[in-house]
Amino acid sequence: MNKLQNETSPYLLQHKDNPVDWYPWGDEALTLAKAQDKPILLSVGYSACHWCHVMAHESFEHDETAKIMNQWFINIKVDREERPDVDSIYMEAVQAMTGGGGWPMTVFLLPDGRPFYGGTYFPLEKRYGMPSFRDVLRGVYDAYTNRRDEVNTMAGNLTEAMNRVVLGIGGDADALNADLLGQAVKSLARDYDPTYGGFSGAPKFPQPMVWEYLLRYAVHTGDKSALNMVTKTLTEMARGGIYDQIGGGFARYSVDALWLVPHFEKMLYDNAQLSRLYLHAWQVTKDPFFRQIATEIYEYLLREMTTPEGGFYSATDADSEGEEGKYFVWSLDELRQILPDPLYDTAVEVFGVTKSGNFEGHNILTFPNPIDVSAGRLGISSDELTGRIDLIKKTLYVTRLQRIPPGLDDKILTGWNGMALASLAEGARALRDANYAQYAVRCAEFLAQNMMTADYRVYRTHKNGVSKLNGYLEDYANLIDAFLEVYQFTFDEKWFTHAVGLADHVLAHFVADEGGFFDVRDDHEALIVRPRTVQDNAVPSGNNMMAKQLLRLYAYTGDAKYQTAAVGALRLLSNALGQYPHGFGEALNAVDMLVRGVDEIALVGDKQSEATLALLLEINGQYRPNAVLAFSPLAVGDEHPIPLLRGRGLKDNLPTAYVCRDMTCKLPVNTVDELRGMLR
């Protein structure tokens, strides 16, 4: 075994038996590189990455290749999910050198950590116009040994460019306005695929933050075309192969433009964001299909991705038994053996199953037609067809459980758990589901007890009872989001207190001088640059998620420091938001909150009374992305920990709602109709 044997990351442990002398990122490897004057070979990936597995099998398990690596390099393996700081720094370098990036990522560093060459996947033998990995190793070592001055200059120039503190995309806070929001929509519309939804081209990624923004925009402005883009995309995605029609949950992305063939890994962060998006789409449209997909994702997360402690696992692999997608696909003959008539004929019709299949001779199940169309073809009612489909899904799910499942990445990441908890808590509130509520509180308790300290310092990862690694800005921001959502259905003030404590910790330790935030605390390990991510990728940028949470806390507290910090972060992006909205979905959601304002709702009344429940139902049943809710069962004095509730009493001795905006309140009301009229 190599030095990875004592790690907790499932990805690193996958490589502990490689003949490569792998080290985890840390002082031991970096000190050794300097002592032996060897370049560093940094390999970055994650457990559910298909091509990471391919490169591992081809090269890292190959004795001759490993011998070259061990002789000439200090080899470091990094799980990008545990160390997003290391990943983001060297991904930026690879993108600067090659014009692209992805995983597996292979970067060659000087002993002091400065990068001088890199790429992504390299094959064992030369093909596809790519050099063989061994040829790359030989070329890099030759350059390091015989052209050191040239390598030093290249590394110095690249690091200097990466280390510029002032962002080159800054702008004016006055540009954060309604015109900017509209410009972003026009830019997104130009790239929209009207046939299959999503944005034109392949591969296709779900991009939930962008669709959330378009949904917000449609609701705020009445723009039907924006709403149609969202509903078309969500419908096509949920009927495609990217969605697991049997077990629920979305795969990472589709390799084609039709949402048909997925990359089969399932990530917690995708399903956390998409469950919330489908919930919101249901709230806006009342289309039961969107509610169905949201609940199916929740059930998948609770059934397959929930840890015994109460958190959520990170991901499942694309491969099983060495084959991509084997766990998820079906043949016509299999269905014939498993399903009796008429369920077999129904499955063939409903899921578009054919003898030749749609994926390497097998079938990825899709849902190509609406229920009423398939029911008409089968000569039965829609209700009867729905019943058959439920039975087919249960039967195939039980059958699938007998297969060898994909690998599970069972580490618990704070930021991703925050996203999942925020969605589940909002689902509990909107759907009035006691089971979701129970799981949400359990998860919140786990995160509060295990993933942060009493002074609100956050850990990144947890496994086997051990929490470790410094939390990143995205961990703090998503945890704040989660705790605010848990507060808004439990009304337990400790969750609000935790959210404030985390936000104040960020303002004390993450803020950049010119505005915005660094990804790491001020006492984090010194790297070649202090990383700072402002673009939203597969997960929201910590910078942009934090800005949104600060605006929510400003609405709750009236404390200007939260709004000032949020504006300072978003101001830097004003030039980029309208031109490149694909990369700033969460930032646009935050700007929407800033521009359109927040409804500050305070409710006082006996929570068990029908009148109070009716007011809560009106608040919770609608899509209100720019609203915060505080509740007290009794009249409140001036000392309450939530400033929005201070001084709130009962009007006419009845449950009473107060709606404020920008710290200015309207008259208190007692009825649902009056409340509805005040809320936008």
Is residue 462 included in any domain, yes or no? no
Q: Would you say residue 168 has pLDDT above 80? A: no
Write the CA distances from 507 to 297, 372, 421, 551, integer angstroms: 34, 54, 23, 13
Among 136, 162, 188, identify where a domain stops: 162
**CA–CA separation, 371 and 228 (whole Å):** 20
**CA–CA separation, 199 and 205 (whole Å):** 9
3-class SS at 142?
Answer: helix
Is residue 139 included in any domain, yes or no? yes
Is residue 70 included in any domain, yes or no? yes
Q: What is the per-residue pLDDT for 191? A: 96
Among 402, 429, 445, identify where a domain stops: 402
Q: What residues have CB less than 8 Å from 222, skipping those under 6 apart?
A: none
What is the 3-state secondary structure of 462-526? Answer: EECCEEEEECCHHHHHHHHHHHHHHHHHHCCHHHHHHHHHHHHHHHHHCECCCCCECCCCCCCCC
Q: Is 392 exposed, middle or buried (0-12, 13-18, 19+ CB in 10 A)?
A: buried
Q: Would you say residue 665 has pLDDT above 80? A: yes
Are the beta carbons of 277 and 215 closer than 8 angstroms? yes
Q: Beta partners for 659?
A: 601
Condensed to tens digits (0 to 9), the pLDDT of residues 497-541 reads: 999 999 999 999 999 988 999 999 999 999 999 999 999 999 999
Query: Nearest 5°: CA angle at 301, between 5 and 251?
Result: 80
Q: Which DSSP category does 622 fall into?
A: S
Is residue 76 included in any domain, yes or no? yes
665: Cα within 13 Å, side-chain hemisphere: 18
Q: Which DSSP category does 641 fall into?
A: S
Provide the residue type at 661 as one letter.
Answer: R
Max intra-chain CA distance, the chain? 87
Provide the residue type at 498 as one letter.
Answer: H
Query: Nearest 5°: CA angle at 370, between 367 and 375?
Result: 105
> Which residue segment(s) compose the domain that 93 sits in?
3-162
**CA–CA separation, 86 and 154 (whole Å):** 20
Among 384, 402, 420, identify where a domain stops: 402
Is residue 483 included in any domain, yes or no? no
Q: Would you say residue 142 has pLDDT above 60? A: yes
Q: What residues have CB less than 8 Å from 267, skipping those under 6 apart?
A: 48, 252, 314, 315, 538
Condensed to tens digits (0 to 9), the pLDDT of residues 240-281 reads: 999 999 999 999 999 999 999 999 999 999 999 999 999 999
Condensed to tens digits (0 to 9), the pLDDT of residues 461-504 reads: 999 999 999 999 999 999 999 999 999 999 999 999 999 999 99
Is residue 123 included in any domain, yes or no? yes
Q: What is the per-residue pLDDT for 74? A: 98
Q: What residues have CB less than 8 Å from 197, skipping those under 6 apart?
A: 229, 232, 233, 234, 235, 236, 237, 259
Condensed to tens digits (0 to 9), the pLDDT of residues 123-136 reads: 999 987 889 999 99
Q: Which DSSP category does 422 fall into?
A: H
Confidence of residue 579 (pLDDT cuts 50, 70, 90): confident
Condensed to tens digits (0 to 9), the pLDDT of residues 286-316 reads: 999 999 999 999 999 999 999 999 999 999 9
Confidence of residue 58 (pLDDT cuts 50, 70, 90): very high
How many domains, in total, are found in the chain? 3
Is residue 231 included in any domain, yes or no? no
Are the beta carbons of 588 and 181 closer than 8 angstroms? yes
Query: Nearest 5°: CA angle at 493, between 489 and 499?
Result: 90
Q: What is the per-residue pLDDT for 639? A: 87
CATH of the domain at 80: 3.40.30.10
Q: What is the per-residue pLDDT for 166? A: 44
Is residue 138 included in any domain, yes or no? yes
